């Protein structure tokens, strides 16, 4: 294999127009979070994406001792503590037994002093259909405003959906959507989880994939998703391989085209995520909503890469700051 490409900050440089649209988007995020308790009919403020928490768990990230020496030097311990949040991607908390199978598996890696080393929000769908930052921001802002202003923003939402329709109708996206539909009843913990965008690993750029070991796909089929997860985590140990791919060639491993899976880059195992039996973190709901999995709250050598990824930084901060303002008050009522 050739040498991996090196990280360059130009991969995430936003234009003036994109920055202006982002300012509008951040305002729509704050408005959504401020109204989120009413929108989801709960007594706390939620996130404006992945609002529903199925569980928060404690676990370990165990480093692969057989990893290549040029990678092993990046990790100074044999294992690290992790906090994991399992979620649904919907903007609102729904109470349906059957939910859209768009799941999140967010990992916070910590050191012995309980400081965050890295955050990795992973999802069970490997593609993101919109490559244009401007189109994404306009659509996301329209969605937020639809929920907060209802019918007053319906036309704008329809217009933005129409703009991104060609992206959604791409063959690669349709194929992956069909695969997800066919596996829609599979158990949450049995899915592979992906970093849709790229991340730094030292001087290079990678994608991450979490592959569970021997998880029964039909586990808890007659239960709600939350019940199945809780029953599994009470009785079973979860183990998943942590795999990475390097970026060698932007044609085969594009940084800012998230609608394409990386090819011609082998998966390399760097460790395992392990969750022991009954490893639930059980603070009250407000405490869970104060958890942040912002990937920019990571050491420099593990930071996200790319324009869509860059948007996450301030978007996560706006969402967290607004949740903090509301939930800290609610917590002590």
pLDDT at 323: 87
pLDDT band at 333 (very low <50, low <70, confident <90, very high): very low
Establish how many alpha carbons lie within 13 A of residue 45's alpha carbon, considering only the half-sphere containing its beta carbon: 24
215 touches 193 (CB < 8 A): no
Q: Is 149 exposed, middle or buried (0-12, 13-18, 19+ CB in 10 A)?
A: middle
Judge whether 119 and 141 are in contact, CB under 8 Å. no
Q: Which residues contact 89 (CB under 8 A, 6 or more apart)?
A: 49, 50, 100, 102, 103, 104, 123
Stretch 117-139: mean pLDDT: 93
Asked if the model's pLDDT at residue 173 lies above 50, the reply is: yes
The pLDDT value given to residue 261:
94
Q: Report if pTM > 0.75.
A: yes
Report the share of the chain in percent with pLDDT over 90: 62
Q: How far is CA 286 from CA 42, 230, 256, 279, 282, in A?
A: 11, 19, 35, 19, 11
> What are the pLDDT digits (tens) for 195-231?
989 999 999 999 999 999 999 999 998 899 999 999 9
| Residue bearing the bigger pLDDT, 94 or 119 | 119
Contact (CB, 8 A) for 83 and 58: yes
Separation between Cα atoms, residue 223 and residue 237, nearest integer Å? 19
pLDDT of residue 81: 96
The pLDDT, as a whole number, for residue 232 is 96
Report which of 272, 308, 310 is spatially closest to residue 127, judged by C-alpha positions: 308
Domains and CATH numbers, the chain: 9-331 (2.40.180.10)
Q: Is the pLDDT of residue 180 over 80?
A: yes
Q: Taking the CA of residue 313 as centre, how many other CA atoms within 13 Å lie in the half-sphere pointing to its CB?
A: 13
Average pLDDT, the chain: 90
The CB density around residue 326, as the number of other CB atoms within 10 Å, is 18
* DSSP one-letter string for 264-318: S---EEEEEEEE-TT-B----HHHHHT----TTSS-GGG-EESHHHHHHHHHHHH
State pLDDT tens for residues 270-314.
Answer: 999 999 999 998 655 667 777 889 999 999 999 999 999 888 888
Cβ neighbours of 174 (radius 10 Å): 12
Mean pLDDT, residues 173-177 taken together:
93
Predicted confidence band of residue 332 (pLDDT cuts 50, 70, 90): very low
The structure tokens 């929920």 sit at: 147
State yes or no: pLDDT of 328 exceeds 90: no
How confident is residue 108, by pLDDT bands cut at 50, 70 and 90?
very high
């Amino acid at each position: 294999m050739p040498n991996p490409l090196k990280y360059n900050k130009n991969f995430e440089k936003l234009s003036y127009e994109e920055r202006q649209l982002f300012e509008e988007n951040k305002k729509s995020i704050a408005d959504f979070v401020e109204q989120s308790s009413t929108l989801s009919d709960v007594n706390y403020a939620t996130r404006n994406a992945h609002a529903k928490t199925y569980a928060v768990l404690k676990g370990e990230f165990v480093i692969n001792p057989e990893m290549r020496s040029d990678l092993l030097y990046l990790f100074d311990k044999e294992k690290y503590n992790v906090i994991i949040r399992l979620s649904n991607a919907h903007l609102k908390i729904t109470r349906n037994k059957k939910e859209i199978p768009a799941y999140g598996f967010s990992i916070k890696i910590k050191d012995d002093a309980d400081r965050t080393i890295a955050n990795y929000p992973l999802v069970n769908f490997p593609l993101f259909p919109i490559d244009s930052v401007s189109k994404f921001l306009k659509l996301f802002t329209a969605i937020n405003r639809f929920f907060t202003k209802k019918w007053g923003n319906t036309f704008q939402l329809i217009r933005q959906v129409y703009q991104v329709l060609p992206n959604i109708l791409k063959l690669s996206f349709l194929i992956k959507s069909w695969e997800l539909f066919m596996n829609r009843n599979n158990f949450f913990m049995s899915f592979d989880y992906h970093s849709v965008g790229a991340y730094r690993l030292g001087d290079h750029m990678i994608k991450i994939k979490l592959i569970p070991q021997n998880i029964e796909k039909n586990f808890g089929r007659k239960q709600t998703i939350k019940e199945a997860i809780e029953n599994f985590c009470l009785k079973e140990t979860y183990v998943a391989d942590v795999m990475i791919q390097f970026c060698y060639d932007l044609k085969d491993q594009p940084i800012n085209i998230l609608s394409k899976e990386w090819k011609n880059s082998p998966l390399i195992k760097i460790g395992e995520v392990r969750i022991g039996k009954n490893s639930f973190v059980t603070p009250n709901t407000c405490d869970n909503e104060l958890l942040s999995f912002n990937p920019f709250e990571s050491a420099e050598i593990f930071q996200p890469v790319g324009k869509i990824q860059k948007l996450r930084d301030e978007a996560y901060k706006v969402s967290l700051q607004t949740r903090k303002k509301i939930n800290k008050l609610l917590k002590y009522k």
